[in-house]
């Protein structure tokens, strides 16, 4: 009996131990789960922090880029304002220099690279005089390219071609034919009037004026040898750009650099960089050309009744040249 009671007591004690162990084990599992959850939560928090740091870094980089772009824009704006101020000063200096002559002059300056312009009476009409010989040679060059004329042609002098003034043909035997390219050279280099008249006869005056109008994009007055400074600048810009890759355009520029006359646009500038054509008729004194400075530009100056006009043109040309090289 005692043994039975003792066995029962031991069984009860053993049962209580098993239950206690299961509870302890269960609590241990809970602890493990909590620890795992905690570790997972910590890792997620660190990842989130890393992502935030990356986003912040990217935002900082974007802010820096925006600041740099704004700085560049500000610098460009300052430069533009400075250039405008310099250009305005040049224009005012030219007007001041001209004084009472300002209404007797037409001036057009055009920076081929930037498109910057100065215009003083640039739409005022003048007689082109011999500056028209540039247009004449460009039309001739166009005819060469299109096959309407040939560089191998020869022309014979007629009495109607004769004209005094500038040139060298007046003192030569004009009974022989002349190559059309020789006449072209003479019309620019020596401003030869007879050579010009022979070329004009070959092309035809009305045809010539119509083809010049086509270059300008509108119809002009054909009743006389009229021109404006703005029109001449347009023509010379086309000569420079040579959009049709006409080889003879380059030749025209070369002979314009080797003209006999250096008392105006290139008087105070290296003659080797100035491709120009002068013109005189009555009290009209003109010069127009392309100046191959560090930044090439076109300048056309026409005058009527201006005292010492050669020097006036030369002085203005130097003012523009100095301004252009200081950019």
Q: At what angle do helices 132-146 and 205-216 cross, to 10 degrees?
A: 90
pLDDT at position 14 is 45
d(CA 257, CA 22): 111
Flag whether pLDDT at 195 surpasses 70: yes
Query: Taking the CB of residue 227, how many other CB atoms lie within 10 A of it?
Result: 26
% of the chain residues with pLDDT over 90: 74
Q: Per-residue pLDDT averaged across 150-154, rounded?
A: 98
Q: Residue 275: enclosing H or E segment and its boundaries?
A: strand 274-281
Of 111, 108, 135, 134, the closest CA to residue 123 belongs to: 108
CA separation (Å) from 144 to 108, 141, 147, 167, 252? 30, 5, 5, 24, 13
pLDDT digits (tens, 9 = 90+) for 84-135: 999 999 999 999 999 999 999 999 999 999 999 999 999 999 999 999 999 9
Looking at every residue in the chain, the average pLDDT score rounds to 87
CA angle 157, 160, 162 (to 5 degrees): 70
Pairing verdict, β 274-281 and 284-291: antiparallel
Residue 158, pLDDT above cutoff 60? yes
Residue 9: which residues within 8 A CB-CB, separation 6 or more?
A: none
Is 90:323 a contact under the CB 8 Å cutoff?
yes
Closest C-alpha to 199, from 130, 246, 268: 130
Pairing of strands 284-291, 297-304: antiparallel
The structure tokens listed for 263 are: 């008392």
Average pLDDT over residues 138-154: 98
- Residue 205 tokens, joined: 């005056």
Backbone angles phi and psi of 16, in degrees to 5: -60, -40
DSSP string covering 209-236: HHHHHHHHTS----SSSEEEHHHHHHHH
Which pLDDT value is given to residue 263? Answer: 97
Which pTM does this prediction carry?
0.79
Question: Does 60 have pLDDT greater than 70?
Answer: no
User: What Å distances lie between residue 29 and 25, 35, 36, 248, CA to CA?
Assistant: 6, 10, 11, 98
């Amino acid at each position: 009996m005692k043994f039975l009671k003792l066995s029962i007591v031991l069984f009860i004690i053993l049962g209580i131990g098993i239950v206690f162990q299961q509870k302890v084990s269960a609590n241990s599992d809970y602890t493990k789960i909590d620890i795992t959850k905690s570790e997972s939560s910590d890792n997620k928090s660190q990842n989130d922090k890393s992502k935030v740091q990356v986003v912040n870094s990217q935002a900082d980089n974007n802010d820096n880029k925006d600041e740099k772009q704004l700085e560049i824009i500000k610098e460009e704006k300052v430069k533009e304002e400075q250039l405008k101020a310099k250009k305005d000063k040049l224009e005012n200096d030219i007007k001041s220099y001209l004084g009472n002559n300002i209404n007797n002059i037409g001036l057009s300056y055009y920076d081929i690279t930037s498109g910057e312009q100065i215009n003083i009476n640039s739409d005022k009409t003048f007689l082109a005089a011999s500056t028209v010989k540039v247009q004449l040679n460009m039309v001739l060059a166009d005819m060469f390219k299109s096959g309407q004329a040939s560089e191998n042609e020869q022309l014979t002098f007629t009495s109607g071609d004769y004209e005094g003034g500038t040139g060298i043909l007046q003192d030569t035997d004009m009974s022989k034919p002349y190559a059309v390219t020789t006449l072209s050279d003479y019309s620019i280099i020596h401003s030869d009037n007879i050579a010009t008249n022979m070329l004009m006869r070959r092309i035809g005056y009305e045809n010539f004026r119509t083809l010049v109008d086509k270059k300008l994009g509108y119809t002009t007055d054909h009743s006389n040898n009229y021109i404006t400074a703005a029109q001449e600048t347009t023509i010379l810009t086309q000569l420079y750009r040579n959009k049709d890759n006409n080889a003879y355009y380059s030749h025209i520029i070369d002979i314009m650099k080797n003209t006999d006359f250096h008392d105006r646009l290139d008087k105070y500038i290296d003659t080797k960089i100035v491709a120009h054509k002068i013109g005189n008729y009555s009290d009209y004194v003109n010069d127009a050309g392309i100046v191959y400075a560090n930044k090439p530009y076109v300048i056309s100056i026409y005058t009527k009744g201006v005292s010492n006009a050669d020097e006036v043109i030369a002085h203005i040309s130097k003012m523009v040249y100095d301004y252009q090289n200081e950019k």
